[in-house]
């Protein structure tokens, strides 16, 4: 550069330079790759691609494409805000973003490249192996906008030691059995610890939705039908109220949160809870749990009247990989999506702690041997789906839903009236 030449650098160029430097400091080769794929993500997605048991799972792809990866990571909500802002610009330097399944409304979905044509031209390996509920969550208006990459599917966890203490030989296989056992398991253990049969957080729609689905109902279906079976929702909330009235849900139910569920089970203060299967290792961690190896999981049970007639649809939350419409090298981005979604990389990420989106991953002998809940999680994942579909007023609708659920469970409003008010208050918020 001569003395008369001016050196200018845009904010995005500075970002790219900083990221490239960070990549080299993290152990990247000293030479520059011909291309760089910028990725907007949560830190966990980067972490599971490079674990001590697997090494860098992207190495083969980077060498084959003469490309490097530059990650910019945020926590979940800031990440989604940044992703949508980037995708709204005339142009973005980010080729790949990670999106949560309850965010892509019809308008937001338009910010991202439909992937059906890419899938037809250069398909992802054995795409039908990816759980259908996860694919559905990344399909908006009939168009595939994201490739599933991670999930958290809900299971029913129980403390085997407490069941044995009460002479219960096996966990519940129907919702009615769960209610009966939860009441039996509301007692003072031999250790002197007061035990409740079931602990649930009151601020998450997951749990009342699960109870409604156990009777064949739902909150909002994927095609936006509100309370498709109001009677099923009434039955589900009636069961929750009965458990609360019997003391089988904590007196502190209204203020119980998700982390409390983990603690209560680890400490032997609750016999049952509902959590993602991925929590199994934490629940049985010998340094944190008073019952390592004794906390186990099964599928959340359906009601006796539906058992064997229809599968239980447990709630699943998931992440997908998307390509912004305004991205530059979309072919490179699709190539990355194909690699991360492959069987090899899906298995490697699972070994590193990721919730694998492929059903076949759970059948891998090494993975299954190291994961006691692999078989049951695989079975549950086949029929799992999100708690409700994304739409602009989803957060407000969930708040209303939970308000009415709490009033019903705590006995401050009749269950039938609460369900009717859910319908009245939420219906105006749904897409027309």
What would the two tokens of residue 215 be? 């009777």
pLDDT surpasses 80 at 22: no
Please give the average per-residue pLDDT across 139-143, as a whole number: 94
Q: What does the DSSP assignment read for 389-431?
A: ---TTHHHHHHHHHHHHHHHHTTSS-HHHHHHHHHHHHGGGS-
Query: From the CB of residue 2, how many other CB atoms can be counted at a distance below 10 Å?
Result: 4
pLDDT at 432: 82
In this predicted model, what pLDDT tens digit does every residue of 271-293 receive, in sequence order?
999 999 989 989 999 999 999 99
Can you give the pLDDT at residue 21? 43
Phi/psi of residue 132, nearest 5 degrees? -60, -35
For the chain, give the mean pLDDT. Answer: 92
Res. 181: pLDDT tops 60? yes
Q: State which CATH number among 3.50.50.60, 3.40.710.10, 3.30.2010.30, 3.40.190.10 fits the domain covering 153-314+387-429.
A: 3.40.190.10
Q: 11-152+317-378: what CATH class?
A: alpha beta
Q: Tell me if 323 sits within 8 A of 116, measured CB to CB.
A: no
pLDDT in tens, 318-377: 999 999 999 999 999 999 999 999 999 999 999 998 999 999 999 999 899 889 999 999
- Residue 11: pLDDT above 80? no
Q: What is the model's pLDDT at position 31?
A: 58
**What was the pLDDT predicted at 326?**
98
Average pLDDT (53-67) is: 96
SS3 10: coil
> Which stretch of DSSP H or E encloses residue 109?
helix 106-109
Can you tell me whether residue 137 is helix, strand or coil?
helix
Percent of the chain whose predicted confidence (pLDDT) is above 70: 93
Distance separating alpha carbons of residues 309 and 316, to the nearest angstrom: 21
List where CATH 3.40.190.10 sits in the chain: 11-152+317-378, 153-314+387-429
Give pLDDT tens digits for 185-229: 999 999 999 999 999 999 999 999 999 999 999 999 989 999 999
For position 370, what pLDDT does the model report?
86
Residue pair 108/325 in contact by the 8 Å Cβ criterion: no
């Amino acid at each position: 550069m001569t003395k008369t030449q001016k050196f200018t650098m845009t904010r995005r160029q500075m970002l790219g330079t900083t990221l490239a430097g960070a990549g080299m400091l993290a152990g990247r080769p000293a030479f520059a790759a011909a291309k760089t794929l910028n990725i907007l993500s949560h830190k966990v997605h980067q972490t599971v691609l490079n674990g001590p048991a697997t090494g860098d799972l992207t190495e083969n792809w980077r060498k084959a494409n003469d490309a490097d990866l530059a990650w910019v990571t945020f926590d979940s909500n800031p990440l989604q805000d940044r992703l949508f802002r980037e995708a709204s610009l005339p142009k973005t330097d980010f080729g790949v973003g990670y999106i949560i399944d309850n965010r892509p409304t019809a308008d937001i979905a338009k910010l991202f490249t439909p992937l059906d044509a890419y899938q037809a031209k250069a398909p992802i390996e054995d795409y039908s192996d990816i759980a259908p509920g996860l694919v559905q969550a990344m399909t908006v208006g009939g168009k595939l906008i994201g490739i599933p990459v991670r999930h958290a599917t809900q299971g029913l966890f129980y403390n085997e030691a407490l069941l044995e203490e009460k002479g219960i030989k096996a966990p519940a296989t129907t919702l009615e059995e769960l209610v009966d056992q939860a009441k039996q398991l509301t007692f003072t253990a031999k250790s002197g610890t007061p035990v409740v049969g079931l602990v649930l957080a009151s601020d998450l729609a997951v749990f009342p939705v699960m109870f409604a689905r156990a009777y064949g109902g739902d909150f909002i279906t994927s095609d936006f039908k509100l309370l498709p079976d109001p009677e099923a929702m009434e039955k589900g909330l009636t069961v929750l109220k009965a458990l609360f009235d019997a003391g089988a849900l904590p007196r502190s139910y209204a203020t119980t949160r998700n982390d409390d569920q983990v603690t209560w089970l680890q400490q032997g203060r609750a016999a049952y809870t509902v959590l993602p299967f991925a929590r199994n290792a934490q629940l049985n961690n010998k340094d944190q749990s008073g019952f390592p190896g004794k906390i186990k999981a099964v599928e959340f049970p359906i009601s006796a009247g539906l058992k064997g007639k229809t599968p239980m649809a447990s709630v699943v939350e998931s992440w997908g990989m998307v390509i912004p419409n305004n991205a530059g090298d979309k072919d490179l981005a699709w190539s990355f999506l194909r690699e991360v979604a492959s069987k090899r990389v899906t298995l490697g990420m699972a070994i590193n702690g990721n919730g694998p989106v492929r059903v076949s991953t759970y059948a891998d002998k090494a993975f299954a041997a190291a994961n006691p809940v692999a078989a049951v999680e695989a079975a549950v994942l086949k029929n799992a789906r999100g708690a409700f579909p994304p739409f602009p007023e989803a957060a407000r609708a969930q708040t209303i839903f939970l308000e009415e659920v709490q009033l019903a469970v705590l006995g401050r409003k009749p269950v039938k009236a609460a369900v009717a008010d859910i319908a009245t208050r939420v219906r105006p918020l749904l897409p027309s």
